[in-house]
Amino acid sequence: MMRVAYAGPALGGRTTSLGHVLRLSGQGKDAWQIGADVHLVEWRGDLTEAFVSRRRSMVVNDHVDPSDSQLAAEIELLRGTAAVLYVVDSQVERLEANREHLDLLRRDMAHVGIALDELPVVFQLNKRDLPNSLPVGDLVEAFRTGWCCHVESVARTGVGVVEAFEAPRKMLRERG
């Protein structure tokens, strides 16, 4: 089994992408919580057996408040993450939101001892069909880690979504 943190800023296409994958797997839209900041996806075989956690996880401050046991437990779910699939909203006006959300994810993962640069990270460059999308080269330059790849997508139509979901496993297999 492999656990993947599926993240990205609100309204970037993460929820639409998950819906597409879950429809393909026969799990329907009720299998996950809409509006979450991070979903955990666990593969127990092929794509048709993907399981999406119903929990959210994000630290909005520099530290976890010890009295917020729910938030602490949700961040703890990131422990054991093997890869990250990060949905980037390609629109010019969403660039800063993409960066801020990635910084929060990086901080959350560091909180449980995971360095984002040491995991395979797939940047799903979404909304490529919109006229106000940044050039792919600009997004590749802005969003990179020590071990990453980029997949263009249009979540609304499903273009590139399955490829993005399959990319973390391919990256792990290639590295051996």
Which positions ≥6 away from 111 have C-beta within 8 Å?
59, 63, 64, 75, 78
User: Is 117 in contact with 143 (CB distance < 8 Å)?
Assistant: no
User: Is 100 in contact with 8 (CB distance < 8 Å)?
Assistant: no
Tens of pLDDT, residues 123-176? 999 999 999 999 999 999 999 999 999 999 999 999 999 999 889 989 988 987
User: Is 105 in contact with 7 (CB distance < 8 Å)?
Assistant: yes
User: Is 26 in contact with 168 (CB distance < 8 Å)?
Assistant: no
Length of the chain: 176
CATH number for the domain whose boundaries are 2-175:
3.40.50.300
pLDDT of the residue at 94 = 97
Domain coordinates in residue numbering, the chain: 2-175
Tens of pLDDT, residues 48-103? 444 444 334 333 333 444 455 656 666 777 777 888 999 999 999 999 999 999 99
Could you please report the per-residue DSSP string of 91-142?
A: BGGGHHHHHHHHHHHHHHHHHTT--GGGS-EEEEEE-TTSTTBPPHHHHHHH
